[in-house]
Amino acid sequence: MGSPATLGPVEFLVLTFPGTAIDESVSAALAEVVTKGTVTLLDLVVLSMDAAGTVTEREIDDDISEVGLTGLTAADIDLVSDDDLDVVRASMEPGTTAVIVVFEETWARRLAGAVRAADGEVALHVQVPRDAVDAVLALT
């Protein structure tokens, strides 16, 4: 991981799944982008809510293979706060699992450094919803 001055953009992502296990293809896809250096995994927390509403929390250093995540390591940075966890817990339904992933967009590290060095800043950053992209593509 780079120093704060050379760090690329950092994203906070919450993925939700039905049930208490995650399909192994998700773990493989995440491990692939980490291994290729596209992203650097900074923090990862898994919350599983059983049918009774009891939530089990697992950090990346715990045995997350129990929920289907394997082959992942993260930098030693706790970026997911207790407040973040409370927000995610409150949004969960019984019988679901949430994976909180905090990652650096390593691919953009050089670009981010160049923008900072030029006294530039990100004026807008928007993730376009998949449904919106699909709707536009359907028109072409």
Domain that holds residue 39: 10-139
5 found inside a domain: no
Query: Of 13-17, 26-30, 67-71, which has the strongest mean pLDDT?
Result: 13-17
Is there a domain that residue 3 lies in?
A: no
pLDDT by residue (tens digit) across 69-119?
877 878 878 899 999 999 999 999 999 999 999 999 999 999 999 999 999
* CA angle 57–62–63, rounded 5-degree value: 100
44: confidence class by pLDDT, cuts 50, 70, 90: very high
70 lies in a domain?
yes
Q: Does residue 63 sit within a domain?
A: yes
CA 23 vs CA 68, 89, 92, 132, 138: distances in Å: 6, 21, 18, 26, 28
User: Could you tell me if residue 126 is inside a domain?
Assistant: yes
10-18 sheet: strands from edge to edge: 10-18, 96-104, 40-49, 55-59
Average pLDDT over residues 45-68: 88
Domains in the chain, number: 1
7: helix, strand or coil:
coil
Q: State how far the Cα of 42 lies from the Cα of 44, in Å rounded to an integer.
A: 7
Task: Give a yes or no: residue 58 inside a domain.
Answer: yes
Please check whether residue 4 lies inside any domain of the structure: no
Q: Is 56 exposed, middle or buried (0-12, 13-18, 19+ CB in 10 A)?
A: middle
